[in-house]
Amino acid sequence: MISAIILAAGEASRMGKLKQLLPWEDSTILGTVIKNIQESELDGQVRVVLGAESERIKEELADYNCQFLTNPDYTRGMFSSVMTGIKNLPINTTGLLFMLADQPLVTTDIYNQLISYFKKEEPLLLVPSYNQRRGHPLIISSTLIPEIYKLGKDGDPEGGLRALLDKYEDDIEYYNVDKEGVIIDLDYYEDYQKYRSDNNS
């Protein structure tokens, strides 16, 4: 069983607005990410890790059937949200799909491709690639959960989960996709305006 962990705790300081709730299609940026995952062949939990303005986000997205977790230490960085997301996982979890809250351009079809490949091939780490650039979501075998805890033992590692990817670089399997959405995140308001316009055209 693969469970999804959506990392949505950030303050969006570069955006200047709470980007999780900015309009996107008929929903919001974060709502679209959740919806695209929920409509995929994912067979485990959808966990959304919140931090900044968590109560407001939960209220706005109350209709989404997912598990909201609050990271009290979100100001320490993204890895603290990873640690929040992996607590008390179902015992039959075989993989963890990590996704960023600001990538609504990743389609349900891409999730399905990655989930199907992971279940068939059972790699240690599976990462989508577009034009030889690493993207999201990444799927990690549950056998690496102890390694994640080990990374977090002495505080947040620099680079977050990239530290795990660096350590197991030779074990990463890359899945090539033909859609650049896997490498596009909406860090700045200009990005949001550009890609929202493109997506709605």
What tens digit of pLDDT does each residue of 86-119 get? 999 999 999 999 999 999 999 999 999 999 999 9
- Hey, which CATH number is domain 2-200, 3.10.110.10, 3.90.550.10, 3.30.300.20, 2.40.30.10? 3.90.550.10
Residues 6+ apart with CB under 8 A from 158: none
Is 153 or 19 the better-scoring residue by pLDDT?
19
The yes-or-no verdict on residue 13 having pLDDT over 90 is no
Express each pLDDT in 57-77 by its tens digit.
999 999 998 999 999 988 888
170-197 pLDDT per residue, tens: 999 999 999 999 999 998 999 999 998 7
pLDDT at 201 over 60: no
Q: Quick one: what percent of the chain has pLDDT higher than 90?
A: 77
Q: Which residues, at least 6 apart from 131, have a Cβ–Cβ distance to it below 8 Å? A: 180
The residues spanned by each domain of the chain are: 2-200
Q: Please give the single-letter amino acid code of residue 135.
A: G
Report residue 15's pLDDT band, with 50, 70 and 90 as the boundaries. Answer: confident
The pLDDT of residue 156 is 66
Q: Band of the pLDDT at 155, cuts 50, 70, 90? A: low
The band of 1, judged by pLDDT with boundaries at 50, 70 and 90, is: very high
* 156 φ/ψ angles, rounded to the nearest 5 degrees: -75, 120
> What are the DSSP E strand ranges found in the chain?
2-8, 23-24, 27-28, 46-50, 67-70, 95-100, 125-130, 133-134, 138-141, 172-176
